[in-house]
């Protein structure tokens, strides 16, 4: 198991992407846009590999019904890669049975990840991904 990525909310997606690309030599994917959720993001990867950085933006996050979108800037979530869809499903079930809140059931996201989302004991948002 490894930490796959960290996610940061920003009010200026392009400015933050340029900062990490220019000063930390990150490589960016194409901008992902989900028009239904009014959500945009970039995934940045680094030369050494390992953990990547997801930059996320959503207009008027405080008006959202989705608790994850309530943050305007700063750390949004972190993701653990567990290696398979079966492990995502199994861990989600185990965490639910242990009394942890499942925020999003296992699913294939619009940007191609198979994931579930849970809240840790302090309410931090944790994605469990393939």
pLDDT single digits (tens) 56-97: 998 865 555 555 555 557 888 989 999 999 999 999 999 999
On whether the CB atoms of residues 8 and 86 are closer than 8 A, the answer is no
Sign of CA dihedral 4, 32, 124, 113: negative
Q: Which CATH class is domain 2-129?
A: alpha beta
Nearest to 127 by CA among 37, 54, 33, 34: 54
State pTM to two decimals: 0.73
Between residues 29 and 50, the one the model is more confident about: 29
On whether the CB atoms of residues 89 and 83 are closer than 8 A, the answer is no
Nearest to 77 by CA among 113, 123, 41: 123
Between residues 14 and 68, the one the model is more confident about: 14
What are 32-53's pLDDT values in tens digits?
A: 999 998 999 999 999 878 899 9
């Amino acid at each position: 198991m490894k930490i796959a990525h960290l996610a940061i909310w920003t009010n200026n997606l392009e400015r933050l992407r340029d900062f990490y690309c220019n000063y930390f030599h990150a490589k960016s994917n194409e901008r992902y846009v989900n028009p239904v959720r009014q959500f945009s993001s970039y995934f940045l990867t680094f030369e050494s590999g390992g953990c990547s950085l997801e930059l996320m933006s959503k207009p008027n996050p405080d008006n959202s019904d989705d608790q994850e979108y309530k943050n305007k800037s700063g750390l949004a979530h972190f993701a653990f890669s567990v290696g398979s869809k079966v492990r995502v499903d199994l861990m989600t079930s185990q965490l639910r049975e242990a009394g942890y809140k499942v925020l999003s059931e296992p699913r294939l996201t619009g940007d191609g990840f198979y994931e579930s989302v849970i809240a840790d004991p302090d309410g931090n948002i944790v994605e469990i991904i393939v």
